[in-house]
């Protein structure tokens, strides 16, 4: 199974072909010329494997950058919502304090009258 130019090969297929060629290379009945051809094929497959890995790395890096950007946008939204909630809580705390003070004033007023 040697890659051809008529279609894209997967990393799994390339590695399978490399394993097959490695096995074939060590067969004792292989002539020097056959071994040289196999060595060239293995070299070409290794180059294709490296190129495919580099391509996959770039795609993965791109996907990670996109995910990081989306996460950044989401975290900003969460921070804004938390800030709004904190403002609301502070307002409610202030209202609670005002109500407590009014109750204290009314209690003192009733105590004196």
Nearest CA among 7, 6, 9 for reference residue 53: 9
Strands (E), the chain: none
What pLDDT does residue 30 have?
Answer: 67
In this model, does residue 26 exceed pLDDT 80? no
Q: Is 105 helix (H, G, I), strand (E, B) or coil?
A: helix
In this model, does residue 87 exceed pLDDT 60? yes
In this model, does residue 81 exceed pLDDT 70? yes
Compute φ and ψ for 27, nearest 5 degrees.
-70, 130
The dihedral of CA 107, 108, 112, 113: what is its sign? negative
Domain ranges of the chain: 11-112
User: pLDDT per residue over 30-68, tens digit each?
Assistant: 677 877 888 898 899 999 999 999 999 999 999 999 999
Burial of 24 (0-12, 13-18, 19+ CB in 10 A): middle
């Amino acid at each position: 199974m040697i890659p051809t130019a008529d279609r894209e090969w997967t990393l799994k297929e390339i590695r399978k072909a490399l394993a097959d060629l490695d096995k074939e290379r060590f067969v004792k009945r292989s002539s020097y010329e056959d071994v040289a051809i196999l060595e060239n094929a293995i070299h070409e497959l290794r180059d294709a494997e490296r190129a495919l890995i580099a391509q996959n790395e770039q795609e993965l890096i791109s996907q990670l950058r996109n995910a990081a950007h989306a996460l950044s946008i989401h975290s900003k939204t969460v921070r804004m919502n938390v800030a709004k909630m904190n403002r609301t809580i502070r307002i409610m705390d202030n209202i609670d304090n005002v109500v407590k003070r009014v109750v204290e004033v009314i209690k003192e007023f009733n105590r004196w009258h």
